[in-house]
Amino acid sequence: MSETRWGAIHLSLVEWRIQIIGFEESGNLVSLNDPHAQWKHKRTRMARLARRITELKMTLDDFRQSLTATVPPAGLTLALAGLWWDAKGDWTRAHESAQQDEGIEGSWVHAYLHRKEGDQDNAAYWYGRAGKPVCREPLDEEWVNIVKDLLG
């Protein structure tokens, strides 16, 4: 098997995914979205790239202003999309977004959503997965703090 070198990044905001393309020594293109590619490396790189897209320095005010739209802004992480849907009053979509992010950020939003729902035991589990203490502040303050943290 030849070594893969990272050569290009393809962003498809229409399909809401990031495809990382590498070049084999032979010059062939390799898509790391291929199930036989290097999964762990791909997932780490994709998470970092998704975070960088969001780090185009969207502010909390920008995020709040985006709530007038019918869909979340392009490039939001799944965790931030979950908070966006939550602010729109759609707990189910918020939960689905948070659940798709299996990392720390998704777990944190997942915890917040279950706390908001009133399921304290489930919330405590997700806070633990996120490496966060169970939150005791008002829900609206926690929402703001999570958004600020995830926006950088």
Boundaries of every domain in the chain: 4-54, 60-151
Lookup: tokens for 127: 């806070």
Spatial separation of the C-alpha atoms in residues 33 and 143, rounded to whole Å: 32
Spatial separation of the C-alpha atoms in residues 19 and 10, rounded to whole Å: 5
Cα of 49 vs its chain's centroid, Å: 10
Return the H-helix or E-strand segment holding 6: strand 4-12
Indicate the CATH number of 60-151 among 1.10.3470, 1.10.10, 1.25.40, 1.10.287. 1.25.40
pTM listed for this prediction: 0.64
**Exposed/middle/buried for residue 106 (C-beta within 10 Å: 0-12, 13-18, 19+):** buried
**pLDDT for the residue 6:** 43
pLDDT in tens, the chain (152 residues): 444 444 444 444 444 444 444 444 444 444 455 555 554 445 555 555 555 554 457 899 999 999 999 999 888 999 999 999 999 999 999 999 999 999 999 999 999 999 999 999 999 999 999 999 999 999 999 999 999 999 98
**pLDDT for the residue 57:** 76
Which backbone phi and psi does 16 adopt, to 5 degrees? 55, 50
Which backbone phi and psi does 149 adopt, to 5 degrees? -65, -45
Spatial separation of the C-alpha atoms in residues 84 and 71, rounded to whole Å: 9
